[in-house]
């Protein structure tokens, strides 16, 4: 059995993750080099990665049927924690973290995995019902209501923190999975147009700090020493790197502390400044490979359920990749979304590692060898 699993395991995906992690460790080391309070972050990141690798191997080896139980457990436990975390002290303007001693945990992270696994089950039941010879309309409506509640409850709790960046991840995950569900293109186009029309209305209901972020995104010079500072410093760092970078541990924005939250939110800016466009482009290429391998796994999954799971995970990684790099170069508003396997942070690394473990499990159980096929 293990011989077949090893044969079908996606080694290209594994190598891609390792390369991203290596680049991330060097960037985290540089980000904390001149900061005594952060100069051991790279060590903690390596330890977390070791733990995540063990967990990913376990998830790769277990039977796929265990995913349903894992999904219900993660969704239920983290739903309770999302309610409790609202009572925690605010950090960076949001009550998103539990902090015990030197450890911290963000329940909205692992909730992503719980949500994907549960949503995949409901969507599988919905498609099976729609395709059956005796389709039950009442059952279809009930399943649609359950899917809606499954999304709205955690999404609403995360918005209340408020953590709009993480909340948007759930929208991307859902969009990918709905697309996989086979919704007609005209509905997608109509939904997109409605969303555009609702933007001014939604803007008016946003809290002031969220409005300010959008205003500053459109024009950082409105508040260059306040809310626009992060965006300006990040773009300066990216531009300073040019083709080959300023050199490892030689970036002025990074080493003199001008770049904010540089080991996590703006890690791509650190890479761009000190390692240059070539390594930055390599990071982008590696993420594209990661997404393509996950989507390929979805296309060859042994059943609808695991295919939905893979597509949902692809949506999660796609949003993190697009948003983090987009905000670092000034193309998207700053939301504090980390770059998976590159940014410092145990919660996101744990979530990303579990997601990859699940993908490796799905790929290893396909009849076709995905390394070359």
What are the pLDDT digits (tens) for 11-65? 999 999 999 999 999 999 999 988 877 788 999 999 999 999 999 999 999 999 8
For the ranges 173-187, 282-296, 307-321, which has the lowest average pLDDT? Answer: 173-187
pLDDT at residue 370 greater than cutoff 50: no
pLDDT at residue 99 greater than cutoff 90: no
pTM of the model: 0.92
Query: Residue 200: in which H helix or E strand, if any?
Result: helix 185-205
- Name the residue with higher pLDDT: 371 or 239: 239
Whether residue 372 lies inside any domain: the answer is no
Q: What is the mean pLDDT of residues 244-264?
A: 90
For the ranges 13-22, 141-150, 196-205, 275-284, which has the lowest average pLDDT? Answer: 196-205
Query: Residue 100: in which H helix or E strand, if any?
Result: strand 98-100
CA distances from 78 to 5, 48, 111, 347, 356 (A): 31, 20, 6, 13, 20
Closest to 339 in 3D by CA, of 330, 352, 329: 352
* CB contact at 8 A, 17 and 357: no
Whether residue 330 lies inside any domain: the answer is yes
- Phi, psi at residue 38, to the nearest 5°? -130, 10
Q: What is the mean pLDDT of residues 145-160?
A: 93
Domain extent, residue 163, equals 2-364
pLDDT at residue 274 greater than cutoff 70: yes
pLDDT band of residue 1 (cuts 50, 70, 90) is low
Whole-number pLDDT of residue 372? 42
Q: What is the mean pLDDT of residues 108-127?
A: 95
- Name the residue with higher pLDDT: 7 or 234: 234
- Name the residue with higher pLDDT: 286 or 370: 286
Q: What is the mean pLDDT of residues 203-210?
A: 69
Q: Tell me the C-alpha distance between 147 and 369, whole Å.
A: 33
Q: What percent of the chain has pLDDT over 90?
A: 58
Q: What is the mean pLDDT of residues 348-358?
A: 96
- Phi, psi at residue 97, to the nearest 5°? -125, 145
Whole-number pLDDT of residue 373? 43
Whole-number pLDDT of residue 4? 75
pLDDT at residue 341 greater than cutoff 50: yes
Q: What is the mean pLDDT of residues 73-94?
A: 89
pLDDT at residue 171 greater than cutoff 90: yes
Strands 103-105 and 98-100: antiparallel
pLDDT at residue 278 greater than cutoff 60: yes
Whether residue 100 lies inside any domain: the answer is yes
Whole-number pLDDT of residue 367? 54
Q: Tell me the C-alpha distance between 33 and 251, whole Å.
A: 11
Whether residue 373 lies inside any domain: the answer is no
pLDDT band of residue 209 (cuts 50, 70, 90) is low
pLDDT band of residue 198 (cuts 50, 70, 90) is confident
pLDDT band of residue 153 (cuts 50, 70, 90) is very high
Whether residue 238 lies inside any domain: the answer is yes
For the ranges 15-29, 165-179, 332-346, 358-372, which has the lowest average pLDDT? Answer: 358-372
Whether residue 369 lies inside any domain: the answer is no
* CB contact at 8 A, 225 and 236: no
Q: Tell me the C-alpha distance between 80 and 244, whole Å.
A: 47
Whole-number pLDDT of residue 371? 42
Whether residue 370 lies inside any domain: the answer is no
* CB contact at 8 A, 44 and 50: no
Counted domains in the chain: 1
Whether residue 371 lies inside any domain: the answer is no
Whole-number pLDDT of residue 185? 67
Average pLDDT value over all residues in the chain = 88
- Name the residue with higher pLDDT: 180 or 359: 359
């Amino acid at each position: 059995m293990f011989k077949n699993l090893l044969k079908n395991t996606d080694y290209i995906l594994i190598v891609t993750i390792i390369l991203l992690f290596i680049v991330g460790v060097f960037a985290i080391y540089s980000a904390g080099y001149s900061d005594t309070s952060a100069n051991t972050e790279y060590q903690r990141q390596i330890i977390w990665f070791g733990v995540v690798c063990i967990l990913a191997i376990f998830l790769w080896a277990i039977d796929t049927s265990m995913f349903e139980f894992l999904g219900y457990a993660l969704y239920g436990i983290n739903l309770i924690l999302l309610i409790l975390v609202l009572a925690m002290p605010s950090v960076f303007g949001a009550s998103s973290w539990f902090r015990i001693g030197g450890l911290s945990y963000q329940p909205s992270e692992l909730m992503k995995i719980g949500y994907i696994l549960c949503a995949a089950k409901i969507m599988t039941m919905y498609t099976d019902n729609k395709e059956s010879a005796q389709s039950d309309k009442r059952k279809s409506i009930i399943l649609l209501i359950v899917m809606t509640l499954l999304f709205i409850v955690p999404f609403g709790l995360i918005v209340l923190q408020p953590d709009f960046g993480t909340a948007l991840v759930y929208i991307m995950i859902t969009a990918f999975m709905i697309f996989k569900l086979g919704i007609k293109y005209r509905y997608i186009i109509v939904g997109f147009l409605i969303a555009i029309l609702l933007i001014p209305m939604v803007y008016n209901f946003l809290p002031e700090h969220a409005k300010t972020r959008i205003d500053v995104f459109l024009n950082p010079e409105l508040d260059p020493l306040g809310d626009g500072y992060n965006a300006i410093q990040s773009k300066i760092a990216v531009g300073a790197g040019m083709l080959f970078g300023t050199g490892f541990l030689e970036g002025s924005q990074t080493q003199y502390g001008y770049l904010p939250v540089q080991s996590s939110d703006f890690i791509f800016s650190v890479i761009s400044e000190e390692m240059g466009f070539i390594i930055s482009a390599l990071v982008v290429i590696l993420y594209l490979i990661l997404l393509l391998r996950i989507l390929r796994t979805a296309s060859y999954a042994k059943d609808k359920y695991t295919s939905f799971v893979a597509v949902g995970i692809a949506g999660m990684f796609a949003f993190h990749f697009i948003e983090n790099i987009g905000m670092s170069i000034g193309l998207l508003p700053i939301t504090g979304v980390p770059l998976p396997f590159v940014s410092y942070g145990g919660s996101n690394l744990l979530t990303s590692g579990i997601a990859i473990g699940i993908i490796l499990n799905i790929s290893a159980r396909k009849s076709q060898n995905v390394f070359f096929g």
